[in-house]
Copies of this chain bind each other. A is one copy, B any other.
Amino acid sequence: MAASAEPDHEVTALDACTEHCVNPEKVAEARSRLISGEEAGRLSDLFRLLGDPTRTRMLYALLEAGELCVCDLSATVGIPENSASHALRLLRSAGVVRKRRSGRMIYYSIDDAHVRLLLDLSREHLKHS
């Protein structure tokens, strides 16, 4: 995983317009407003994390259930507990879910309000498209 480090990739193509076509002003304007490679990397890391069917289902399960332990979540989604644990580790290291220990159970939930909105919004998008 690791937050996509392409060292200074956002500065590479100041001379990339050696190609044909291109409105130089428009490109210069767009380039000045372009997000940094580092930020783009973190954004794509986040999306890629959400872009796996297993993790997606786990997240929507957590979204509706509020909080579930690993074994309940694995039973809900229908995957082995190992897989659930592994997926949750990835999601947690990205700050998408949070864990809370209670005895020997560990309960997971969506960590961030933005992520909840993101999940809701995405579902809306598919409905209307």
Contact = CB atoms under 8 A, between A and B. Distances in A.
Contact of A40 (B23, B60, B65, B129): B60
- The majority secondary structure among interface residues of chain A is helix
A57 to B, nearest CB: 5
A75 B21 CA distance: 10
Contact of A9 (B49, B78, B121): B78
Interface residues of A, number: 71
Which of A22, A27, A60: most chain B Cβ within 10 A? A27
A75 B16 contact: yes
Contacts of A114: 121-122, 124-125, 128-129
A60 B39 CA distance: 11
A78 B12 CA distance: 7
B44 A50 contact: yes
A33 B17 CA distance: 52
A6 B77 contact: no
5 contacts: A34-B61, A34-B77, A44-B51, A112-B125, A115-B125
